[in-house]
Amino acid sequence: MTTMTPNAQDELERLQSRVQSLEQERRHLLAVIEILQEIGGSLHFVDIVQAVARRLGEAFGLDRSSIFLTERGGHTVRLVASFEDPSIRNYVVDLDRYPELRRALQTGQTVHIDDVAVDPSLRLLKGALEHRGVRSITVVPISWRGTAIGAIFLRTFRDGPAFAEADVQFCQVIAGLTARALRNAHRFEKLQERRGDDSGLRRRERERVALVGYLRRLLDAFAAKDGPWGESALAHASADEIERLVGVTMTVLAQEATGR
């Protein structure tokens, strides 16, 4: 039986650690690719946040993986996606129940609590967290141009694997990708709104052109007829008939404006 020297044992442990690190990097890279593929094909913020929450929850086997977004002004925070309950879409949260979330949003810095049982900021929630078997909490801000617009909220089980520093860095990368995807979705929605406004303006302009063209042809037709005509002729037409003709005219104009 061959006995390894201390130096050989140290080298073996170093190589094993390196292999584990490379395997972790490989898993992270694959997860980034999968998330990019999913959120890159969507321009709707609901699909984006749901995909990120689900992918992170599956990748780490988490107790909780959620996405929170702030409203303009930062006074209201909403839970918009949750791995453990996908039906949650737009739930206003009380930040008194999430001191770690409040801290991440206010400072714009990642908050990582390695052991919730000994963290003083969670002393009022200790019983509930112990009942859930929670081990650690990580909150990564989703920032755009230096301002936190939301956060990724992650909780691990006490009997699950520890959340390493490399895992935290990975989640920071995902938060950056999420911020850009949400910004693109916001721009797309604004573009759609502007296009809708432009469409209304174009429709009204076409109605105006159709009205002017109709009146010109109508007057030309009357001018070409023999015999006098004037206001006295209106006395023989009933008001109801005039209203009916106006209604027919406006219907025709609307149809002309739509190009049908």
**Domain positions in the chain:** 22-191
The count of other CB atoms within 10 Å of the CB of residue 177 is: 17
Q: Is the pLDDT of residue 163 over 60?
A: yes
Architecture of domain 22-191: 2-Layer Sandwich (3.30)
Structure tokens of 110? 């990642």
d(CA 150, CA 71): 9
The reply to whether the predicted model has a pTM over 0.95 is no
Q: What is the pLDDT of residue 172?
A: 93
The answer for residues whose C-beta is within 8 angstroms of residue 148's C-beta and 6 or more apart is: 70, 74, 104, 105, 106, 108, 141, 142
Q: What is the pLDDT of residue 125?
A: 86
Which phi and psi (to 5°) does residue 151 adopt? -160, 150
Closest CA to 117 of 98, 99, 134: 134
Range in 8-22, 79-93, 105-119, 160-174 the model is least confident about: 8-22
pLDDT value for 184: 84
Identify the band that residue 65 occupies on the pLDDT scale cut at 50, 70 and 90: very high
